[in-house]
Amino acid sequence: MAKSKASILVVDDEPAMRLLVTSVLKDEGHEVTAAASGEEALQLIASRHYHMVITDLKMPGMSGVDLLERVKQEDPETAVILLTAFGTVGGAVEAMRRGAVHYLLKPLANPDELRLAVRRVLEERRVADEATTLRQATEAVFPFGEIIAGDSRMQAALDLARTVAPADSTVLITGETGTGKELIARAVHHWSGRANRAFVAVNCAALAETLLESELFGHEKGAFTGAVAQRRGRFELAHEGTLFLDEVGEMSPALQAKLLRVLEEGTLERVGGMKTVTVDVRVIAATHRELTEMVAAGTFRSDLFYRLSVFPIHLPPLRERPSDIIPLAEHILGQVTRRLGKRIIGFSPDAAATLTQYRWPGNIRELQNVVERAAILCQGEQILPAYLNLTPASPAPAAAGPRTLRELEREAILAALAACKGNRRAAAEQLGIGLRTLYTRLKELGIFTEHGEDE
């Protein structure tokens, strides 16, 4: 459904009312069809899909409530708005319990009421559709039950996400750029009781302060130049769902104060407005900055920091989880090759070594870009080092003093798992130990590989 245009069916037995509603909505750019009765409307609905039906409540023959029930049977996603006289408001309220999204009083005192109601409903549907599409796209790339996390710290972060998801508490996700903070935020939403509601994301670093304020809290008509109509903000669009505030450390002190109020009171005012709006939103924030240092420097409010960090989750950089590099690269390669229509079976041993030794300053996002570029360049069935265009990092300087046997053993197991692409049976053979012994050592050393392969 396009943002600026929808297919709408107007149903009313009064010709003047049909003409008024149809004219107003056509002026808005919508494709509008009119019907004089519920029976005629059903014939039209049987032949095509409508994004919205606007129907009178009281009509000869089939009533608006009867039509509502039939519409919902045919297509539950079709939004229904009722037109009702003052004396039948009770019937309209009952109809909303049965699935109508809004009602308007007849006669329309102002056509703007109709315009705003239709815009509001279509915007809500657009956000819900986007949330569904994004959730499906994200799960297609990294299904939440199969997020690649063989590294013990990454597995611990996932365990924390699963634990906090149903609690509805505010979550603060920290980590370098590209470590997958939004993916974890979506996983928390997916595992929560709000999973069927909207997940709305805002990058606080991508917008100027004035634009970000309007984006978050909405604005009233005439609040500033260009505000030609009332607009709901992301908090309102995320009502009963989840709002993800990416790079929250970039928010100005003035906006920090407004954010704190919403978190503490669950209320806000739109820009240029006086009306208090109540919202029910679960907030997940993320940042690559050290907020504790910003608090100490006076650039980030301490009260907001404590309110956001009720449940912190830190994501390690990719270079500190080497056992995950090859499994991640293989997973990304599979997605890319399917999209490109190529047959590439994997990475050559030298290419795998190059990937493992590289420091990955851009983390998983950089890995995705490198693998996609390599897949485009690849002319055979394996990715070779030349396609990666990476310079392996110099070996890290040896730590002062001898390392413990436990440290050496852990490194050897991680290296074997990386070389064997997470295959535990092959890693055990490479290490010269039995599979059962490897399981025991993995558990004792805190290396979790629930998503690895044995065969």
Domain containing residue 49: CATH number:
3.40.50.2300
Same domain, 196 and 308: yes
Contacts of 113 (CB under 8 A, 6+ apart): 104
pLDDT at 127: 67
Same domain, 266 and 384: no
- DSSP-derived pairing of the beta strands 346-347 and 199-203: unpaired
Same domain, 65 and 148: no
Do the Cβ atoms of 355 and 390 come closer than 8 Å? Answer: yes
pLDDT digits 0-9 by tens, 127-155: 666 555 555 554 444 455 557 778 888 88
Q: Is residue 29 part of a domain?
A: yes
Q: 297, 314, 331: which is the final residue of a domain?
A: 314
- DSSP-derived pairing of the beta strands 31-35 and 267-269: unpaired
Higher pLDDT, 164 or 444: 164
Same domain, 168 and 212: yes
Q: Is residue 133 part of a domain?
A: no
pLDDT at 454: 57
Q: Is residue 383 part of a domain?
A: yes
Q: Measured over all CA atoms, what is the biggest interatomic distance in the chain, rounded to whole angstroms?
A: 91
pLDDT-derived band of residue 419, with 50, 70 and 90 as boundaries? low
Q: 273, 291, 314: which is the final residue of a domain?
A: 314
CA–CA dist 107, 30 (Å, integer): 22
Please name the residue that has the structure tokens 């907001």.
304
Contacts of 139 (CB under 8 A, 6+ apart): 190
Q: Which two tokens stand for residue 331?
A: 């997973």
What is the average pLDDT across 323-330? 92
Q: How many residues does the chain have?
A: 455
CA–CA dist 82, 92 (Å, integer): 7
Long-range Cβ contacts of 160-165 (<8 Å, 24+ apart)? 160/311, 160/313, 161/187, 161/188, 161/191, 161/313, 162/187, 162/191, 164/188, 164/311, 164/313, 165/189, 165/190, 165/191, 165/192
Same domain, 335 and 246: no
pLDDT digits 0-9 by tens, 93-120: 777 777 888 888 888 878 888 988 898 8
pLDDT at 107: 82
Instruction: With a cut of 90, say whether residue 303 has pLDDT above it.
Output: yes
Q: Which two tokens stand for residue 283?
A: 């907030």
- Centroid of chain to Cα 213: 20
pTM (two decimals)? 0.59
- What is the number of other CB atoms lying within 10 angstroms of the CB of residue 104? 19
CATH of the domain at 308: 3.40.50.300
What is the average pLDDT across 192-199? 90
Least confident of 53-67, 192-206, 346-360, 429-443: 429-443
CA–CA dist 256, 204 (Å, integer): 11
Instruction: With a cut of 90, say whether residue 284 has pLDDT above it.
Output: yes
Same domain, 11 and 73: yes
Instruction: With a cut of 70, say whether residue 319 has pLDDT above it.
Output: yes
Q: Is residue 113 part of a domain?
A: yes
pLDDT-derived band of residue 206, with 50, 70 and 90 as boundaries? confident
Q: Is residue 132 part of a domain?
A: no
Q: Helix H segments across 242-301?
A: 253-265, 291-297
Same domain, 327 and 291: no
Do the Cβ atoms of 214 and 271 come closer than 8 Å? Answer: yes
Q: How many domains does the chain have?
A: 3
pLDDT-derived band of residue 397, with 50, 70 and 90 as boundaries? very low
Q: Is residue 126 part of a domain?
A: no
Same domain, 162 and 107: no
- DSSP-derived pairing of the beta strands 52-56 and 31-35: unpaired
**Cross-strand pairs, 34:** 10
Q: Is residue 129 part of a domain?
A: no
Q: Which two tokens stand for residue 112?
A: 């703007």
Give, to the nearest 10 degrees, the angle between helix 209-217 and helix 253-265: 10
CA dihedral of 271, 276, 79, 54, whole degrees rounded to 10: -90
pLDDT digits 0-9 by tens, 370-394: 999 999 999 889 999 999 988 755 4
Give me the percent of the chain exceeding a pLDDT of 70. 85
The domain in which residue 54 lies consists of: 7-121
Same domain, 378 and 337: yes
Same domain, 429 and 358: yes
Q: Is residue 1 part of a domain?
A: no
Q: What is the CA radius of gyration of the chain?
A: 28
Q: Helix H segments across 191-279?
A: 209-217, 234-237, 253-265
Same domain, 350 and 392: yes
Tell me how many degrees the CA angle 316-428-447 measures, rounded to the nearest 5: 25
Q: 258, 287, 314: which is the final residue of a domain?
A: 314
Letter string b/e over residues 204-234, b meaning 16 or more CB atoms within 10 A of that residue's CB: beeeeeeebbbbbbbbbeebeeebeebbbbb
Same domain, 334 and 360: yes
Instruction: With a cut of 90, say whether residue 259 has pLDDT above it.
Output: yes
